[in-house]
Amino acid sequence: MRVEQSEKYHLMEWKPERELRYRLEQWLREAREQGRTGHRNHLPDAELVSEQERIGIEVELTAKSVERTRAIMQDLIGRYDKVWYFVSKAARASIERAWKGLDGTAQIKVGLQEYGDE
């Protein structure tokens, strides 16, 4: 996945989940040290970042509940300019139902692309 996307979007920086998790843990540690409480949001599987935009990347190989998926979508839409879902055939129906439950403005920010199951 990383190779496919980094070649296509070579002007963007790819940040995998491991890096995102490390940065979040640092932020939460600093927040605790300063007496602030930290809220943990959903971490995307990766993100693409350029000077113009941030794109959250989700790879879904198995179906989650529609409610959980919609909550994750809404969280990511609030933090990213766009959210791209790469979904397996097994997960597609659940992801599409969650997407259809979003308002029109939110739907525009979410892209769905079939992935895997070749």
DSSP calls for 12-49: SEEEEHHHHHHHHHHHHHHHHHTT---PPPPPPSEEEE
pLDDT in tens, the chain (118 residues): 444 554 555 557 777 777 777 777 776 676 667 665 555 578 889 888 888 899 999 999 999 999 999 999 998 998 899 999 999 999 999 999 999 999 999 999 999 999 875 5
Chain CA centroid to CA 49, Å:
12
User: Residue 43 — left, alpha, or beta (φ > 0 → left; ψ -120 to 50 → alpha)?
Assistant: beta
CA pair distance 62, 114, nearest whole angstrom: 13
pTM for the model:
0.72
* Pick from 53, 56, 57: nearest CA to 11: 53
